[in-house]
Amino acid sequence: MTTAALLALGRPTFDVELGIEQASAARRVLDAIDVTTLGEEAVLTDVVEIARAVESALDQKADVVIVLQATFTDASTVISIAEASDIPIVVWSFPEARSGARLRLNSLCGANLAAYSLRRRRHRCAFVHADPATPDAGDRVGGAIDNACRAAPITPPSSAVTPVLDLHAVRTAERIDARLHRSRIGIIGAPPTGFEPCAGDDDQIASTFGVKVARLELGALFEKATAADGSCVDGVVERVSSTLAVDPALTRSDLEPSARLYCGMRNFVDGNGLDAVATRCWPECMADFGGAACTPHAMLTEDRVPGVCEADVLGAVTALVLQLVAGTDPFIADLVDIDDTDDTSVLWHCGVASSRLAHPGEVAVGTVHPNRRVALVNQFALRPGRVTVARLSQCSGGLHLVLADGEMLDRPRPYDGTCGTIRWDRPVRDVAATIFGLGIEHHLGVVYGDHREVLVALARRWGIPVVRLGAEQLAEERQSVAYPSSNQSG
């Protein structure tokens, strides 16, 4: 019989009550498959409680640690376990219905963060994404436990980038590479705690891609925003009112903090000649300054200066590359849902997509953040069409270009925020196996059109390998990934 130290993790800004229900159901599944669970019943949300529970779990000498991703959390807990012990870790995340309303759990994204940190440490781990109510949940979790306990570390393909023969793609890549060597990105603040994928090496970025990095403290942004003159603030409010259907419940005073954040970011951009910006957007922008950075980031993207969340350095470089390759607005998004009943995923973020990406049959709305309830964010479904998905990645410790393609479907908005439903050109099971098997970052870049050849040509110039989501050579990673399961999506 397997003995498992159980940790159920949550964050108060999500629907912890729903997370408690799913965690309790998951524990019943574990009991049914003869897994002896050690640990508290409660979903832990306090950092002190979590640290105490981790210490207790490691003292109990269990065979495996099972982390129940009751809601989204950062990767701090799994990092602390991996750095203190070689005990295998299973992360179990929970699907949720595509309700058109709030993303209540965002459990999958938390698991994605954990996968990145655990894979980089080459820690024995496995992942399962299953509703505890589905008939095969026990089999999936049992298989994940077995695989974590015997798993060997996974490494990305080491083969060189396949030469690109298309002359137009090669010459386009040469032109874009030259442009990147004249580019600068701005990073405002540091990544949130437990967001290792957002950190980057400024010197490595300059030497590999030619992009220089300028940095600004978050407090300095707030000073710039506070000092913004009234004409800038008035202009932003007028622009927002003309491009978005602003929730009539929002007053001028509700909009002003976000408007000032845009003015502060614009000051940083103009003063440093920046081509993209990534900001530590939460919690401080909302909790301390009083405004969401989502719509300001979207407006910068519309200004041809891509705005990216969570101070994600390589996310900003990715967004800039995609803008140069496609000539259109990029969107940096989280993978928040995978469903093999119709072979689709949802790519989402709180409200940061450019309004030009909105579904033509839907009004782009300006509203409050879905969790923090602070203005201002964009809200709409992404327009249908062919998309390229890419990410300059540090998965498993080395630079790679992650690449995929698919179709953004003509479907209603799955959740609050800016998001769309994608059907990948490869089976969603295989896409998930690559993401969780290699520990690819939670932020993926999306741009409309098929731009794979130019991106591969760029990777060749940079001397970095290409990892294709769902590629056949990664089939062995399915042994440590039990993704996905039916999620009762609407």
Q: What is the CA radius of gyration of the chain?
A: 22
Please indicate, yes or no, whether residues 139 and 196 belong to a single structural domain of this protein.
no
- Please check the confidence at residue 487 and state whether its pLDDT lies above 80: no
**Whole-number Å distance between alpha carbons of 77 and 114:** 9
Mean pLDDT of 62-75: 97
- Please check the confidence at residue 163 and state whether its pLDDT lies above 90: no
The distance between the two most distant Cα atoms of the chain, rounded to a whole number of Å, is 69
- HSE of 138 in the Cβ direction (CA atoms, 13 Å)? 10
Please indicate, yes or no, whether residues 223 and 253 belong to a single structural domain of this protein.
yes
How remote is the C-alpha of 413 from its chain's centroid? 18
Residue 489 lies in a domain: no
Supply the range of the domain harboring residue 239: 167-482
Contact 311, 278 (CB under 8 A): yes
Please indicate, yes or no, whether residues 202 and 107 belong to a single structural domain of this protein.
no
Residue 157 lies in a domain: no
pLDDT of residue 115: 96
Contact 170, 90 (CB under 8 A): no
- Please check the confidence at residue 475 and state whether its pLDDT lies above 90: no
Q: What is the CATH number of the domain that holds 353?
A: 3.40.275.10
DSSP 427: -
Please indicate, yes or no, whether residues 345 and 378 belong to a single structural domain of this protein.
yes
Q: What is the CATH number of the domain that holds 43?
A: 3.40.50.10940
**Whole-number Å distance between alpha carbons of 341 and 427:** 11
Please indicate, yes or no, whether residues 214 and 267 belong to a single structural domain of this protein.
yes
- Please check the confidence at residue 192 and state whether its pLDDT lies above 60: yes
- Which residues are CB-neighbours of 421 under 8 A, at least 6 positions away? 98, 344, 345, 346, 408, 409, 411, 414
pLDDT-derived band at 141 (thresholds 50, 70, 90) equals very high
pLDDT-derived band at 259 (thresholds 50, 70, 90) equals very high
Total number of residues shown for the chain: 490
Averaged pLDDT of the chain:
93
Q: Which is higher by pLDDT, 172 or 471?
A: 172
Residue type, 176: I
Domain final position from 150, 183, 209: 150
Please indicate, yes or no, whether residues 236 and 140 belong to a single structural domain of this protein.
no
Residue 385 lies in a domain: yes
pLDDT of residue 476: 43
Please indicate, yes or no, whether residues 125 and 206 belong to a single structural domain of this protein.
no
Residue 156 lies in a domain: no
For the chain, what is the domain count? Answer: 2
- Please check the confidence at residue 410 and state whether its pLDDT lies above 50: yes
Domain final position from 92, 125, 150: 150
DSSP codes, 321-390: HHHHHHSS--EEEEEEEEETTTTEEEEEESS-S-GGGB-TTS--EEEE-TTT--EEEEEEEBPPEEEEEE
- HSE of 321 in the Cβ direction (CA atoms, 13 Å)? 34
Residue 159 lies in a domain: no
Residue 155 lies in a domain: no
Q: What global pTM score does this model have? A: 0.95
Please indicate, yes or no, whether residues 135 and 191 belong to a single structural domain of this protein.
no
Residue 162 lies in a domain: no
Residue 488 lies in a domain: no
Please indicate, yes or no, whether residues 253 and 396 belong to a single structural domain of this protein.
yes
Please indicate, yes or no, whether residues 26 and 62 belong to a single structural domain of this protein.
yes
- Please check the confidence at residue 490 and state whether its pLDDT lies above 50: no
**Range with lowest mean pLDDT among 51-65, 179-193, 352-366:** 51-65
Please indicate, yes or no, whether residues 84 and 203 belong to a single structural domain of this protein.
no
Please indicate, yes or no, whether residues 187 and 334 belong to a single structural domain of this protein.
yes
Nearest to 324 by CA among 489, 210, 419: 210
